[in-house]
Amino acid sequence: MTLSALWLVLFYWTVLHSPCDCSTLTKADLQELENINTWVITRSFPCSATCGLGLRTQELCPIGGTRNFSTAACKLRTIRCLDTWQCGLKTQTVIAGQRLELDCLEEVMEAIGRFAFVVSWRFARGVITSDNSLFIRYEALSLDKVVLDPLREEDSGTYRCDVLDTGKRRVKRMYKGVKVLSPNMLSLDFTKGLIHWENPESLWPNITTTTTRKPYPSSTVRNMVLVSLSISVAITAVIFLFLWAFYRKRPAQLLHDSL
């Protein structure tokens, strides 16, 4: 135990007192650095996008030989920022006949430039998914967005957008699921739906809730009664014939058994 402790002390002494090849700054070097005029980042704002390529604003202020900030000469600059290129899946429900725009780059393309990116679109028809094996190439007329006008029911599905920068690095992948509803199936007008709920006659104008009018014409009721009677008579006749044949055969069977 004592020998192990002695070796440990010798090891630490060797490490702490070993010569270092690192060069230290002299007093003259420090004075020269203090006289250099430069810019420093005093504030940095969050990235404009939580996923994909975004923009970040920074405040830069100059410092002189006195090492004091000159706030009057500060300036703002905008730089690119990227936390993650995967944006996941977002869905939206729209009605057929409307106009729909699926924007891929939004304000980033306007600030940096249209030709600074390579954008490609893919489409999975009729399903909301992120399975890449289900997507096929989709030709978009615009570079950064898909415009559906008017929107059709067959346009429902998932649209995938991939964005590459000039260095062929992926900076964004976005999935947008689109559910298209027919205007005849569902109305999102709450006021109109409330009126129909309070006045059911507006939904079925040929049927009234009052007791003075019959819900069906007299000819329809007469035909329904005749059909019901015909079916009942036919069933009764079949049962009668079955019983008559059964009892007719039974005395002959009894006579045969007695012999």
pLDDT tens-digit series, residues 197-232 = 666 565 555 555 444 455 666 777 788 888 888 898
* DSSP string across 152-182: -GGG-EEEEEEEEETTS-EEEEEEEEEEEE-
Residues 6 or more apart whose CB falls under 8 angstroms from that of 177 comprise 89, 90, 91, 92, 128, 129, 157, 158, 159
- Please answer whether residues 30 and 23 qualify as being in contact, where contact means their C-beta atoms are separated by less than 8 angstroms: no
Quickly tell me which residue has 């999102």 as its tokens.
188
Q: How many domains does the chain have?
A: 2
In a domain, 24, yes or no: no
Query: Which pLDDT band, with edges at 50, 70 and 90, does 5 fall under?
Result: very low
In a domain, 206, yes or no: no
- Please answer whether residues 96 and 182 qualify as being in contact, where contact means their C-beta atoms are separated by less than 8 angstroms: yes
The DSSP symbol for 17 reads T
In a domain, 50, yes or no: yes
Same domain, 151 and 78: no
| Mean pLDDT score of the chain | 77
Q: What is the pLDDT of residues 136-161, one digit of tens each?
A: 999 888 777 899 989 999 999 999 99
In a domain, 211, yes or no: no
- Please answer whether residues 61 and 40 qualify as being in contact, where contact means their C-beta atoms are separated by less than 8 angstroms: yes
Same domain, 107 and 170: yes
**Residue 126, domain CATH:** 2.60.40.10
Same domain, 76 and 98: no
d(CA 87, CA 52): 7
Same domain, 113 and 154: yes
d(CA 67, CA 65): 5
- Please answer whether residues 49 and 108 qualify as being in contact, where contact means their C-beta atoms are separated by less than 8 angstroms: yes
Q: What is the pLDDT of residues 24-53, one digit of tens each?
A: 767 776 666 666 677 888 888 898 888 888
In a domain, 110, yes or no: yes
pTM, two decimal places: 0.53
Query: Which of 154, 181, 208 is at the close of a domain?
Result: 181
Write out the residue range of the structural domain in which residue 100 sits.
86-181
Give the per-residue pLDDT at 226: 85
Same domain, 103 and 153: yes
**∠ CA(241), CA(246), CA(250), 5° rounding?**
150
Same domain, 67 and 146: no
Tokens, residue 164: 């590459």
